[in-house]
């Protein structure tokens, strides 16, 4: 099992390499982000262990460039940055796991083995459903060349629906995945936000891709990206709410 270890602290890098070598891994070390992009793009690795705070190019940018180059090697972020937003950014950019320093070496080994077993299926950074595209890294939504501004809740709902594109999802599933556990209102809020989304992603484009499946829930279908145009005004839908 071949590992690319991206770490600029030489003592830590050598310690981790020695430990992983003892567990049967073959480890290459690079000390900066630019070298990491080159090595991961040019050679085949089973997993990449990537620090965030790196010289020349930080770990977030390394990860973003790798996924843009369609390098789908599993990536474990190994870093002292332990904020929830740091982790969210990493996962949105395509990270597979996240381990904070100081860490248990045996936990690191277990997680690396799990990533290797899982393999590296293709996972496009930009999610698409026909002509509708969503880039989690930039929180950017677009249809037929028109940028669609969304509120935070609309964005969360659309992200969930796009990840389930073609599947019917119930109100209960939507509430569980888009609203937090503290929400105590009724499920009518789902209907309200579905309506908001339709006004932004469908109606201005003359489409009906966000469908109600009577008695079951909702389904987001993919349209034909080559069919139809953009809103006559050329302006994006309103971002209110």
**Arithmetic mean of pLDDT, 144-156:** 89
Provide the pLDDT for residue 221.
95
**Rounded mean pLDDT, 158-173:** 90
Question: Quick one: DSSP state of residue 226?
Answer: T
What is the Cα gyration radius of the chain? Answer: 21
* 240 pLDDT higher than 50: no
Strand segments, DSSP code E, in the chain are 2-6, 26-30, 47-50, 75-79, 97-100, 127-129, 132-135, 140-143, 146-147, 168-169, 210-213, 217-220
Distance between CA 49 and CA 108 in Å, rounded? 10
Q: What confidence tier does 238 reach under pLDDT thresholds 50, 70, 90?
A: low
Query: What average pLDDT score do residues 145-161 get?
Result: 89
Residue by residue, DSSP assigns 23-64 as TT-EEEEE-SHHHHHHHHHHS--SEEEE-SS-SSS-HHHHHH
Identify the pLDDT of residue 231: 54
Asked if the model's pLDDT at residue 191 lies above 90, the reply is yes
75-110 pLDDT, tens digit each:
998 877 665 666 777 777 778 888 887 788 888 888
Domains of the chain: 2-118 (3.40.50.2300), 127-220 (1.10.10.10)
Residues 6 or more apart in contact with residue 225 via CB below 8 angstroms: 130, 131, 144
pLDDT digits (tens, 9 = 90+) for 51-80: 988 998 998 899 889 888 888 889 998 877
For residue 78, give the nearest of 103, 51, 58, 97 by alpha carbon: 51
């Amino acid at each position: 099992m071949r590992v690319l270890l991206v770490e600029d602290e030489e003592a830590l890098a050598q310690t981790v390499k020695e430990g992983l070598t003892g567990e049967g891994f073959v480890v290459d070390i690079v000390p900066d982000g630019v070298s990491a992009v080159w090595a991961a793009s040019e050679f085949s690795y089973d997993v990449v262990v990537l620090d965030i705070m790196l010289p020349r190019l930080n770990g977030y940018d390394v990860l973003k460039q790798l996924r843009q180059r369609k390098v789908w090697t599993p990536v474990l972020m190994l870093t002292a940055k332990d904020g929830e937003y740091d982790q969210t950014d990493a996962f949105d950019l395509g990270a597979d796991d996240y381990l904070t320093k100081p860490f248990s070496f045996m936990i690191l080994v277990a997680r690396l083995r799990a990533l290797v077993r899982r393999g590296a299926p293709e996972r496009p950074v930009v999610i698409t459903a026909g002509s509708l595209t969503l880039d989690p890294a930039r929180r950017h939504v677009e249809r037929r060349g028109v940028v669609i501004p969304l509120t935070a809740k609309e964005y969360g709902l659309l992200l969930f629906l796009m990840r389930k594109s073609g599947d019917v999802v119930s109100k209960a599933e939507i509430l569980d995945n888009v609203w937090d556990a503290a929400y105590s209102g009724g499920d009518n809020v789902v209907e309200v936000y579905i309506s908001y989304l339709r006004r932004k992603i469908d109606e201005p484009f003359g489409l009906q891709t966000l469908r109600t499946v009577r008695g079951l829930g909702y389904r987001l279908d993919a349209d034909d990206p080559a069919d139809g145009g953009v809103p006559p005004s050329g302006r994006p839908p309103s971002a209110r709410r």
